[in-house]
Structure 1
Amino acid sequence: MNLHRLLLKRQAEGRPVRVAVIGAGKFGSMFLHQAPRTPGLHVLGIADLSIPNARAALARIHWPPEAGAAADAATAARSGATWLTEDSLALIADPLVEVVVEATGDPAAGLVHARHAIRHGKHVVMVNVEADVLAGPLLAREAAAAGVVYSMAYGDQPALVAELVDTIRTGGFSIVAAGKGTKYLPAYHASTPETVWDFYGLTAEQARQGAMNPRMFNSFLDGTKSGIEMAAIANATGLAPPEDGLAFPPAGTSRLPDLLRPQNEGGILARKGVVEVVSSLTRDGAEIPDNLRWGVYVVFEGDTGYARRCFAEYGVATDSTGRYAALWRPYHFIGLELGVSVASAALRREPTGVAESWAADCVAIAKRALKPGELLDGEGGAMVWGKCIPAARSRALGAVPIGLAHGVALARAVPQGALVTEADLQPHQAGGAAQAAREMRAAMRGMAMDTIGEL
């Protein structure tokens, strides 16, 4: 509990932690809003594909116009201003940058940026969970070999779940289940960018006025984002994904320890030590009063009578037997909390969660019957959604990860509800970030699992 003190020390020494932010979208903007309010942090540069869009984002968060006026990194360092550039690789490589925040949301680009940062001796905070699930264990190994930190993004749910898991394990308890809440119904898996606002109770015009991205919101709704995040948590904690994907059981906080316990003890779990997402809605669409839609949780076990008596004495939420207990956090602050990861990487040289094994994958499932020659439209689109399954199963089936199910053509038909495999695809075109991502993916498939874990 000393990050703030360490930041104050860097501030007093006149050498703030200098940060490069890649991508000025929603998550990046939330961090940028807080960074000037955090002593000891300096956003040295922001890279975005569109400088006008980046300036518009900065205006929305009340960033002073003069603060984004630096012509290069050196000028930014001297003046305390920020360099805006479209050249992400140049910004990352600049010797004045200490920490790189990758917040593009593009999985292939995220892998390129992270590797570039690691090669140049920079710590990486990977907001881009899609990229982390594609090849996070490989990036973590490369970062460790280079003597830098590769980290999940605090404020996002995977890092917060990893923190809860670590806290409970450090206290000597075993994890039964961990995950997050979301709004879910089975029908949501078929949602498209054209239908998504109906599910949210919004008109297309209301969404446009709110600058809401239909693909992003569709990924939240159709289960893909949940699948990606649970895969990231499994890879960081060693918890297991369900064999055939998340169940999304309806549950409020009061039901967590009763529901998320083994089947032979009255719960729904096939085994202990898993990731799962709970729905804020009952299957008939009614909202659960004590739902965890915005939060994270962990269910753990008191394996002695003494521990269970302590749970009862201190009001810990438990199941009916008193054996299984739950701890949760009802909200997460997204990019507003990201400074914790930046400071932890730079000042403690510790990640706020990191992929330690390839335990889980998020694979593409057909939303409708797909035809030969069609181009897959990826995460948040109208053609596929992402399901979290064990990595061993994904490897055995040759599954296409959701992060690479974009802009590739089908060689044969895929039935609705079927998993898309590499054998279903036409040969890939060589070159570009997507090719680099495929090569990283192939390298990770070839790594022994015990080697991945030795970070």
Structure 2
Amino acid sequence: MNLSRMLAERTAEGRPVRVGLIGAGKFGSMILAQAKCIPGYHIVGIADLDPVKARGSLARVGWSEDRYAATSFGDAMDNGTTFLTQDAGALCEAEGIECIIEATGHPIAGLRHAMAAIDAGKHVVMVNVEADVLCGALLADRARQKGVVYSMAYGDQPAAICELVDWVHACGFELMAAGKGMNFAPAYRYSTPDTVWGYFGWSEEEVAAGDFNPKMYNSFTDGTKAAIEMAAVANATGLDCPSDGLAFPPSGLQDLAEVFKPVSAGGRLEKAGIVDIAASREPDGRMVLNNIQYGMFVTFKAPDEYTRACFQQYGLLTDKSGWYGSMWRPFHLIGLETSVSVLSAVLRGEATGSSTRYRADAVATSKGSFQAGEFFDGEGGYKVWAKAIPATQSVQKNALPIGLAHHVKLKRAIEKDQVVSFDDVEIVEDLDIVQMREDQKALLDG
């Protein structure tokens, strides 16, 4: 609770925190919107493959043109301005920048950017959860060896969940589960970019009037994004994924402690200590009362009768027994909060959540029956959804991670809901990432 004070002290000394941003899309735009409001927080450079789009993002969030008119990184640092470039590698290597924010959303590019930044001695805030769940444990290990911080992005749900998990442990409660809310019902699993807007209730006119990416929205709808984020949380906290993937039990705020406790105690969990999703819809599609669609939660158990009584005395929401309680955060503000991660890394040397273990995986799972010769189209597409499973299972199945399931060709037929194996597909590109996956197996936890 002293990051603003620490930043003010550095600013008074004439030493701003210098940051590089890769990706000026929606998340990046939100980062930039707040950066202009934080004295001493200097975005030295922005790398984006589309400079016109990057300039449009800056204008949209209120940056004046003179603020991003720098002609080089050195010019930007000398004058407190920002340099726009298409060269992410040059941004990662730029002398004087202390932290790189990776916000592209592209898993392969994200891994390469993070490796370059770490090798250049820079902290990394990984907005790109798709990249993190693919090889985050390896990146965290590499960062540790280089003496820099590899961190999740505060404001995104995984980092907020990690904060709640840390709170449970720091208070001495017994952690039962951690997760987030989500608009999900079983029928959503097989959504495609063609059908996704119906689940949001938007008309064709509303969609046409906005800047909506159907694959991105479909990734949220079919449960893929949930699998990616919950596997990342497991890798950061040591929690487990359910053995058969996320169950998405419907639950409102008042029922969290009743639902997210073990079956042996009358709940829905196969055991204590797992991640899952509180679905905001019943299986028939009806909205759950007091759902936490935009929130994050933890459930936990009192260690003794005295603490159980305190739960009741101070109004904690508990199950009927009073032994199990829940704590939650109702909202998250995405990139508007990411400066917390940057300042924590630079000023404290601490991550706001970090995937230091290889404990869980988000693996490609078929949306239908497909024949040899057909191509997968990756996250949010027509062919696959991601299933969050323990890493031990992923290794045993030689499972294909969702981050490598884009434009890969099937070598043999597969069935609906089948976890796809590396043996099922031809991998001819991104072989460096495949090798990173192999190297990560040495960090297998559990």
> Shorter-chain-normalised TM-score: which range?
over 0.9
Q: Which residue of 2 aligns with 1:349?
A: 349
Summarize the Cα distance change of 1:278–1:348 in structure 2 as closer, same or farther, 3 Å threshold.
same
CA distance in 1, matches of 2:89, 2:189: 36
CA distance in 1, matches of 2:175, 2:248: 19
CA distance in 2, matches of 1:449, 1:261: 23
Q: Which residue of 2 aligns with 1:401?
A: 401
Q: How far does residue 221 in structure 1 lie from its aligned partner after superposition? A: 0.5
- Residue 439 (structure 2) pairs with residue 439 (structure 1): no
Give the conservation status (yes or no) of the 8 Å contact 2:358–2:444: no
Aligned residues: 446
Summarize the Cα distance change of 1:172–1:134 in structure 2 as closer, same or farther, 3 Å threshold.
same
Summarize the Cα distance change of 1:401–1:448 in structure 2 as closer, same or farther, 3 Å threshold.
closer
For residue 372 of structure 1, what is the amino acid of its counterpart? A
CA distance in 1, matches of 2:40, 2:5: 10
For residue 24 of structure 2, what is the amino acid of its counterpart? A
Q: Which residue of 2 aligns with 1:308?
A: 308
For residue 247 of structure 1, what is the amino acid of its counterpart? A
Q: How far does residue 383 in structure 1 lie from its aligned partner after superposition? A: 0.6
CA distance in 1, matches of 2:191, 2:169: 38
Give the conservation status (yes or no) of the 8 Å contact 1:99–1:346: yes
CA distance in 1, matches of 2:137, 2:111: 12
For residue 282 of structure 1, what is the amino acid of its counterpart? E
Give the conservation status (yes or no) of the 8 Å contact 1:9–1:40: no
- The more displaced of 299-308 and 203-212 is 203-212
CA distance in 2, matches of 1:36, 1:15: 17
Map 1:79-158 to 2 at 5 A: 79-158=79-158
Give the conservation status (yes or no) of the 8 Å contact 1:23–1:102: yes
Q: Which residue of 2 aligns with 1:77?
A: 77
Summarize the Cα distance change of 1:30–1:134 in structure 2 as closer, same or farther, 3 Å threshold.
same
Map 1:264-275 to 2 at 5 A: 264-275=264-275
Q: Which residue of 2 aligns with 1:170?
A: 170
Q: Which residue of 2 aligns with 1:60?
A: 60
Q: How far does residue 413 in structure 1 lie from its aligned partner after superposition? A: 1.0
SS at match of 1:318: coil
Q: Which residue of 2 aligns with 1:372?
A: 372
Give the conservation status (yes or no) of the 8 Å contact 1:112–1:436: no
CA distance in 2, matches of 1:153, 1:443: 25
CA distance in 2, matches of 1:448, 1:423: 21
Q: Which residue of 1 aligns with 2:283?
A: 283
For residue 282 of structure 2, what is the amino acid of its counterpart? T
For residue 425 of structure 2, what is the amino acid of its counterpart? L
Cα-to-partner distance string for 1:244-283 (whole Å, 9 max, x where unaligned): 1001011001000011111122111110011010111111
- Residue 331 (structure 2) pairs with residue 331 (structure 1): yes
- The more displaced of 75-84 and 206-215 is 206-215
Q: Which residue of 2 aligns with 1:246?
A: 246
Give the conservation status (yes or no) of the 8 Å contact 1:358–1:449: yes
Q: Could you list the structure 1 runs, at least 4 aligned residues long, displaced by more than 4 angstroms after superposition.
A: none
- Residue 425 (structure 2) pairs with residue 429 (structure 1): no
SS at match of 1:244: coil
Please give the root-mean-square deviation of Cα atoms over the aligned residues, in Å. Answer: 1.1
Q: Which residue of 1 aligns with 2:259?
A: 259
For residue 428 of structure 2, what is the amino acid of its counterpart? Q
Give the conservation status (yes or no) of the 8 Å contact 1:3–1:343: yes
Q: How far does residue 448 in structure 1 lie from its aligned partner after superposition? A: 5.2
Give the conservation status (yes or no) of the 8 Å contact 1:11–1:40: yes
Give the conservation status (yes or no) of the 8 Å contact 1:111–1:131: yes
SS at match of 1:322: coil
Q: Which residue of 2 aligns with 1:411?
A: 411
CA distance in 1, matches of 2:4, 2:280: 35
Q: Which residue of 1 aligns with 2:358?
A: 358
SS at match of 2:234: helix
Q: How far does residue 349 in structure 1 lie from its aligned partner after superposition? A: 0.5
CA distance in 2, matches of 1:424, 1:413: 8
Q: How far does residue 436 in structure 1 lie from its aligned partner after superposition? A: 2.1
TM-score by length of 1: 0.96
Q: How far does residue 59 in structure 1 lie from its aligned partner after superposition? A: 1.8
Cα-to-partner distance string for 1:354-404 (whole Å, 9 max, x where unaligned): 112111100011111122111211001111010100000010001100011
For residue 229 of structure 2, what is the amino acid of its counterpart? E
- The more displaced of 60-69 and 311-320 is 60-69
Q: How far does residue 208 in structure 1 lie from its aligned partner after superposition? A: 3.4
Give the conservation status (yes or no) of the 8 Å contact 2:157–2:296: yes
Q: Which residue of 2 aligns with 1:40?
A: 40
Q: Which residue of 1 aligns with 2:292?
A: 292
CA distance in 1, matches of 2:258, 2:289: 17
- Residue 19 (structure 2) pairs with residue 23 (structure 1): no
Give the conservation status (yes or no) of the 8 Å contact 2:98–2:346: yes
Q: How far does residue 204 in structure 1 lie from its aligned partner after superposition? A: 3.7
- Residue 205 (structure 2) pairs with residue 226 (structure 1): no
- The more displaced of 139-148 and 6-15 is 6-15
- The more displaced of 203-212 and 16-25 is 203-212
Q: Which residue of 2 aligns with 1:453?
A: none
Structure 1 gaps of 5+ residues are: 451-455
- The more displaced of 379-388 and 204-213 is 204-213
Give the conservation status (yes or no) of the 8 Å contact 1:108–1:436: no
- The more displaced of 20-29 and 203-212 is 203-212
Summarize the Cα distance change of 1:448–1:366 in structure 2 as closer, same or farther, 3 Å threshold.
closer
Q: How far does residue 168 in structure 1 lie from its aligned partner after superposition? A: 1.1
CA distance in 2, matches of 1:375, 1:425: 9
Cα-to-partner distance string for 1:216-249 (whole Å, 9 max, x where unaligned): 1100110000000000000000011000100101
For residue 429 of structure 1, what is the amino acid of its counterpart? V
Give the conservation status (yes or no) of the 8 Å contact 2:152–2:351: yes
Q: Which residue of 1 aligns with 2:386?
A: 386
CA distance in 1, matches of 2:207, 2:345: 36
CA distance in 1, matches of 2:153, 2:304: 35
SS at match of 1:317: coil
